[in-house]
Amino acid sequence: MTAKARFAAVGRGARTFATDVAEGFFEITHNSLALLGVAVVVIAALLATRPDLRAQGEERLTSWLTARKVAAMGIQPELGAIERATAANPSDLPREQATVALWIAKKYRVAPEPVAALVAEAYEVGRANKLDPTLILAVMAIESSFNPFAQSPVGAQGLMQVMTEIHSDKYQHFGGQYAAFDPKTNLRVGVKVLQECIARAGSVEAGLKWYVGAANLPSDSGYADKVLAEHGRLYQVAKGKPMPTSPGLRAEARPAPAPVKTVDAVKVASIS
């Protein structure tokens, strides 16, 4: 046999070997996929008839995915944490409330989303208690600059700097005194206290003096003026009038005060 014939024979053998390998691989793959398909159908049918197995499988899969996420992130995820957040999209609010929220956020350098939630709450609680919501927001501005964890040297706490120990009975309706640091709860309790002070004093300005604890003092150190000044600005913002956000605006140069409804003392209902 010549060299050329040998070379041709080797080529035919190689082609035959390659063909056999390819056919075998296809057969194995085809059979494996068929077996896999049958297994999937059987498992699906079993899970359909055994909800308990399906629940166990989902639980294990969730645990595995959670473990993978913890390993990747280094922290324990908590999908329900969003429910504890005091936040709202300002664009979802009515125009007046959104305008007020964005103005406050800019002036006090706080995030607009939590402010939006507080503004919406102030409007709702204000309507329920017959108080101008911009007055409520003004009290928060002067008392805490919208810091929900603020505390004064005498123990006033939260957004509206309510004296937690004195008004602990009101916080019992919200689970206890630690609720003072929940922004919405502090707002609601603070509004109730403010409402009672205004009703007792007979006017908003005198009520603010009671609210700050200066009812029996010769002066409230300008507290009522500061609140009313900020109330005037917030009221103008709510009505669509541009107002500066510079913190240097003095209380003495406040805009014309907004009309505020007083509360009939007979109608004040304590929530304690």
Per-residue pLDDT tens over the stretch 121-163 = 999 999 999 999 999 999 999 999 999 999 999 999 999 999 9
**Could you tell me if 183 and 54 lie in one domain?**
no
In the chain, what are the helix, strand and coil shares in percent, each to the nearest 5? 70, 0, 30
Domain's final residue, options 30, 48, 77: 77
Query: In degrees rounded to 5, what are phi and psi of residue 262?
Result: -85, 165
Taking the C-alpha atoms of residue 183 and residue 203, their distance in angstroms, rounded to an integer, is: 26
- State yes or no: pLDDT of 258 exceeds 50: no
What is the CA angle 186-191-192, rounded to 5?
100
For 207, 209, 213, 224, the CA distances from 218, given in Å and listed in that order, are: 15, 10, 11, 13
User: In terms of domains, do 29 and 73 share one?
Assistant: yes
Tally of domains within the chain: 2
Sign of CA dihedral 167, 178, 180, 271: negative
The domain that holds 183 is classified in CATH as: 1.10.530.10
- Name which residue leads in pLDDT, 271 or 104: 104
pTM of the entire structure? Answer: 0.67
Residue 82, domain member (yes or no): no
User: 27, 54, 77 — which closes off a domain?
Assistant: 77
85 in any annotated domain = no
Residue 150 located in a structural domain: yes
pLDDT at 236 over 80: yes
Q: Does residue 84 lie in a domain region?
A: no
The pLDDT tens digits of the residues spanning 9-63 come to: 655 665 665 566 556 555 555 566 565 665 666 666 666 777 776 677 777 777 7
Angle between helices 204-211 and 223-238 (to 10 degrees): 120
Has residue 272 been placed in a domain? no
Q: Are residues 61 and 145 in the same domain?
A: no
Residue 21 is which amino acid?
Answer: V
Whole domain around residue 178: which residue ranges?
A: 90-267
User: What is the SS3 assignment for 87?
Assistant: coil
Distance between CA 71 and CA 67 in Å, rounded? 6
Same-domain pairing of 173 and 234:
yes
71 plus 165 within the same structural domain: no
